[in-house]
Amino acid sequence: MKSKKILLTIIFTALISIVRAQDKYEYMIIEFDTFKDKISVSIDGKEFITEKVDHGNQERSAYNANPFLLKVKEYQDKDWDVMSFNSSADGNIERHFAHLRKKMVVKN
């Protein structure tokens, strides 16, 4: 009976450790609308940023996704990981999406 209690205690302690060890993440969506020439960033349900795209000396085209890719790279440099890329097209309008996540630092 005593060994059964010890075994249950060990299992219970292991389960609590597993639950505490689950990673927590922040999530982000970056959208590039080529028709409106804007990039929108939604960050973890807390922030929303919209900015006009500056093409610099590059061609303004529905197919030029470089401003979008540069924005994704900017967040990758801040430890955000890309989970997926998606695109949609409707006539001359292209929209590109990136879904990113960043591991949260949980303090105990």
Q: Please give the pLDDT value at position 49.
A: 96
Domains of the chain and CATH, by start: 24-103 (3.30.1410)
Entry pTM: 0.75
- In percent, the amount of the chain with pLDDT more than 90 equals 51
Q: Please give the pLDDT value at position 14.
A: 67
Q: Tokens standing for 26?
A: 């922040």
Whose structure tokens read 């105990």?
108
Q: How far apart are CA 98 and CA 61, in angstroms?
A: 19
Q: How far apart are CA 24 and CA 105, in angstroms?
A: 8
H/E segment holding residue 29: strand 25-33
Which pLDDT tens digit goes with each residue over 28-71? Answer: 999 999 889 999 999 999 999 999 998 777 778 777 889 999 99
pLDDT band at 20 (very low <50, low <70, confident <90, very high): low
pLDDT band at 8 (very low <50, low <70, confident <90, very high): low
Q: What SS3 state is found at 65?
A: coil
